[in-house]
């Protein structure tokens, strides 16, 4: 029993540290996603991220085809239930990004930020970056390797914090 209590204590401590680190990383984010303007996916669909985030929190995954860590995180993004939007930065033309997705077998919607215009608006300098967009606001950014449970937990934390 004492071993279980210790494990639960460590788990709670890890959750608190993770949340604190995410909040610290989020401090440089713009407050609103409205500055992104009109977004268009590779398949030509127009995306209103702000409007969509009023229905449910949207996991926004910023990645690059040349990013080694992204190759580990992207397959998990494919498994995230609910609203997910991804943005490829500095990864080449639409055709090149589409070929990369096909080669890797990824099935998520992608906005191609070939010239880093959107990444600069979000103050993103590291890939992968994951954040939650909720009610038009950017919340809980994290960079580097993140697990599937970590992605789902961040979205859930934003919802219960409402």
H or E element that contains 116: none
**CATH value at residue 145:** 3.40.30.10
Tell me, what's the pLDDT at 27?
Answer: 61
Tell me, what's the pLDDT at 59?
Answer: 94
Which residue, chain included where needed, has tokens 């788990």? 11
Tens of pLDDT along the chain (162 residues) come to 688 788 777 777 766 676 666 666 656 666 678 778 889 999 999 999 999 899 899 999 999 999 999 999 999 999 999 999 999 999 999 999 999 999 999 989 999 999 999 988 888 888 999 989 999 988 878 888 889 998 998 888 888 776
Pick from 26, 87, 59: which is nearest to 148 by CA? 59
Where on the phi/psi map is residue 123: left (φ > 0), alpha (ψ -120 to 50), or beta? left
* Structural domain total, the chain: 1
Structural domain including 116 reads 2-160
Whole-angstrom Cα distance, residue 137 to residue 125?
19
CA of 120: how far to CAs of 4, 123, 131, 136, in Å?
45, 5, 15, 18
Which residue, chain included where needed, has tokens 């993770």? 18
Tell me, what's the pLDDT at 9?
Answer: 79
């Amino acid at each position: 029993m004492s071993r279980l209590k210790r494990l639960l204590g460590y788990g709670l401590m890890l959750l608190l540290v993770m949340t604190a680190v995410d909040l610290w990383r989020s401090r440089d984010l713009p407050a609103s996603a409205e500055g992104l303007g009109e977004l268009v996916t590779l398949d030509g669909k127009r995306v209103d991220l702000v409007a969509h985030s009023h229905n449910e929190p949207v996991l926004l995954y910023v990645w690059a085809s040349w990013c080694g860590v992204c190759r580990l995180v992207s397959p998990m993004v494919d498994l995230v239930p609910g609203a997910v939007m991804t943005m490829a930065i500095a990864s080449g033309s639409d055709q090149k990004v589409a070929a990369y997705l096909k080669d890797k077998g990824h099935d998520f919607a992608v906005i191609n930020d070939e010239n880093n215009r959107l990444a600069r608006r979000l103050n993103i300098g590291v890939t992968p970056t994951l954040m939650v967009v909720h009610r038009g606001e950017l919340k809980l950014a994290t960079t580097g390797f993140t697990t599937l449970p970590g992605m789902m937990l961040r979205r859930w934390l934003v919802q219960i914090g409402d």
